[in-house]
């Protein structure tokens, strides 16, 4: 088994693969040269994160390719159906980055609720001369405890977001395109576990009742949140999108922020990624990050090990 981890793999994952006798190539190949590299080196396993695209054209050009592994949950960058039609085994690591993404959602919520995103911009510029004015302007802040959290998308990340909300004392409402009930367990340091049952309700119910809204869905063909949905929300709502660019309308989001309907929003993903629109980057009501939801040392270690473990199992079959 010859493996190309084109977007990298953690040291622990690399070590596990090599100890299992799997030939891991230490290369990073650009998209224009990837097919030739795979063919020249008779690569049969391609591991990717979000950077490398596994398209129909690449699949057709690489007859030696037997397995494609995606580090992370979403597989938007892989033509999964076509790969499987060609008898290529495709897998991902759905559990490895859950906590990292969910914690980033709340990092943004806390930043928005306490005005940290804006104070971090202004304190270096005006903290010395306008300290008291800044203190007064940032005093309008909120606690999360006792507020209502709306979770759009009841997949694994959505349920991890819900768990953190519950642990903070928030009321949690969930929407899923396909109605469902999920059981979630909160595990504590002393060995105790508390179980909760979450049942989906309508999108209208979620957006009209929530103080904080997190979008945690796969890529969609149409906006989940647009003018109609924004207009139904509570005044002063906070929204975080750490899912995919294009699940909310960024233009109308800014309109509703300017009107004061939406108090603030956070974006970790963008419609025009990796070139976000300038009005988004310049708006002080937005808390922004460059698609780093799953980018923690912890998640990378778990992703690398999960990729390695799945490959080792496949080798032994």
* Mean pLDDT of the region 101-109: 98
**pLDDT tens, 226-255?**
999 999 999 999 999 999 999 999 999 999
Q: If you classify domain 2-93+297-316 with CATH, what class do you get?
A: alpha beta
Given strand 45-48, what is the order of strands in its sheet? 23-25, 2-5, 45-48, 67-70, 89-92
**Domain with residues 98-288, CATH architecture:** 3-Layer(aba) Sandwich (3.40)
- Quote the pLDDT of residue 219: 87
The answer, yes or no, to whether residue 72 has pLDDT greater than 90, is no
> Which residues does residue 90 pair with via DSSP β-bridges, in sequence order?
68
- Quote the pLDDT of residue 137: 93
Marked catalytic residue, from 66, 114, 177, 291: 291
The one-character DSSP state at 86 is T
The answer, yes or no, to whether residue 316 has pLDDT greater than 80, is no
In the annotation, is 291 catalytic? yes
> Which residues does residue 105 pair with via DSSP β-bridges, in sequence order?
none
In the annotation, is 128 catalytic? no
Same fold, 2-93+297-316 and 98-288: yes
**pLDDT tens, 203-231?**
999 999 999 999 999 889 999 999 999 99
- Two tokens at 205? 């119910």
Q: For residue 293, count other CB atoms closer than 10 A to its CB.
A: 23
Marked catalytic residue, from 103, 182, 273, 309: 273
The β-bridge relationship of strands 181-187 and 193-199 is antiparallel
Average predicted confidence (pLDDT) for the chain: 95
Task: For the chain, give every domain's residue range.
Answer: 2-93+297-316, 98-288
Marked catalytic residue, from 14, 160, 244, 250: 244
**pLDDT tens, 178-203?**
999 999 999 999 999 999 999 999 99
- CA atoms of 190 and 192, how far apart (whole Å): 6
The answer, yes or no, to whether residue 73 has pLDDT greater than 90, is no
């Amino acid at each position: 088994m010859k493996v190309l981890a084109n977007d990298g793999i953690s040291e622990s994952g690399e070590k596990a693969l090599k100890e299992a006798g799997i030939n891991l190539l230490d290369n990073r190949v650009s998209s224009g040269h990837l097919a030739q590299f795979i063919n020249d080196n008779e690569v049969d396993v391609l591991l990717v994160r979000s950077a490398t695209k596994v398209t129909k054209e690449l699949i057709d050009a690489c007859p030696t390719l037997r397995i494609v592994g995606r580090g992370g949950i979403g597989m938007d960058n892989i033509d999964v159906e076509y790969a499987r039609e060609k008898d290529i085994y495709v897998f991902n690591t759905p559990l490895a980055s859950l906590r990292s993404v969910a914690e980033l959602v709340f990092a943004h919520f806390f930043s928005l609720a306490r005005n940290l995103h804006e104070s971090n911009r202004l304190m270096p510029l005006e903290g010395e001369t306008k300290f008291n004015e800044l203190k007064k302007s940032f005093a309008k802040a909120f606690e999360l405890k006792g507020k209502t959290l709306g979770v759009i998308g009841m997949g694994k990340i959505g349920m991890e977001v819900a768990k953190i909300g519950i642990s903070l004392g928030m009321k949690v409402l969930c929407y899923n395109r396909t109605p469902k009930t999920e059981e979630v367990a909160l595990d504590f340091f002393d060995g105790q576990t508390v179980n909760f049952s979450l049942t989906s309700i309508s999108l209208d119910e979620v957006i009209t009742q929530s103080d904080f809204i997190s979008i945690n869905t796969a890529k969609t063909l149409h906006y989940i949140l647009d003018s109609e949905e924004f207009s139904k929300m509570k005044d002063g709502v906070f929204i975080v999108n750490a899912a995919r660019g294009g699940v909310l309308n960024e233009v109308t989001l800014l309109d509703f922020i300017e009107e004061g309907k939406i108090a603030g929003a956070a974006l970790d993903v963008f419609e025009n990624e990796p070139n976000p629109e300038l009005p988004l980057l310049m708006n002080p009501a937005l808390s922004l990050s460059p698609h780093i939801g799953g980018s923690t040392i912890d998640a990378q270690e778990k992703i690398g090990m999960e990729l390695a473990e799945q490959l080792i199992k496949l080798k032994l079959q």
